[in-house]
Amino acid sequence: MTDEFVPVHPVPLLIVISGPSGVGKDSVLNRMKERGLPFHFVVTATTRPPREGEVDGVDYFFVSREKFASMIDNDELLEYAIVYEEYKGVPKEQIRQALASGRDVIMRVDVQGAATVRKLAPEALLIFLTAESEADLVARLHKRKSETAESLHLRIATARQELKRIDEFDYVVVNRNGRLEETVEVIQAIIRAEHHRVKHRKVTL
């Protein structure tokens, strides 16, 4: 017998941040990065062109359709989908390496992608980010003014359908206007609580 306490090394989590367009997923993740939190933030590959201010390898891996097709053929993606006529996918290897290093991994995907991740990694922690109301979400999408009227209409219709899938997630976090810090604090609290579960979420890929 010994009185020495041996702490248990926490099992790293695979954390999925999802939700409709316009709820502020990018803003939340960028604020978490600015805080210097010790997570691995997954960089998604996409065939869409970069928006103003986006940096390749930081915001996304911007790749050609030919390159994306090669990644599919070589089974390099955890999940991928066509989102508003462009391909998006999550590279597997960076997730495996980060989990193996003991770091929590945070990835941003759309609602469809979150469902795919749940099938492939049932122990992943799924967090649904939303606005205060459907009307608020629609107003945010209009305010962005980054796309055509037709594309905006599609995003709004898709967002309304995605809001109906909230029951597929473990937690819901409301990202209220002007309260980004509070949103980040809530997500951090969820992650801390998950590390204190009696039965840990052990993810295998």
Catalytic residue among 108, 140, 155, 201: 155
Known catalytic membership, residue 176: no
Q: What is the pLDDT of residue 4?
A: 53
Across 178-190, average pLDDT: 96
Q: What is the pLDDT of residue 145?
A: 65
52-82 tens-digit pLDDT: 889 998 888 999 999 999 999 999 999 888 8
Q: What is the pLDDT of residue 173?
A: 97
Known catalytic membership, residue 144: yes
Q: Radius of gyration over alpha carbons of the chain, in Å? A: 18
74-109 tens-digit pLDDT: 999 998 888 778 898 999 998 999 899 999 999 998
Catalytic residue among 31, 35, 48, 51: 51
Q: What is the pLDDT of residue 6?
A: 44
Domains of the chain: 14-42+103-194 (3.40.50.300)
105-147 tens-digit pLDDT: 999 988 988 999 999 999 999 999 999 888 888 888 877 666 6
Sheet holding 14-18, edge to edge: 39-41, 104-108, 14-18, 125-130, 171-174
Q: Residue 171: how many CB atoms within 10 A of its CB?
A: 17
Known catalytic membership, residue 201: no
Measured CA to CA, the distance from residue 185 to residue 173 in angstroms comes to: 10
pTM of the model: 0.83
Contact 19, 131 (CB under 8 A): no
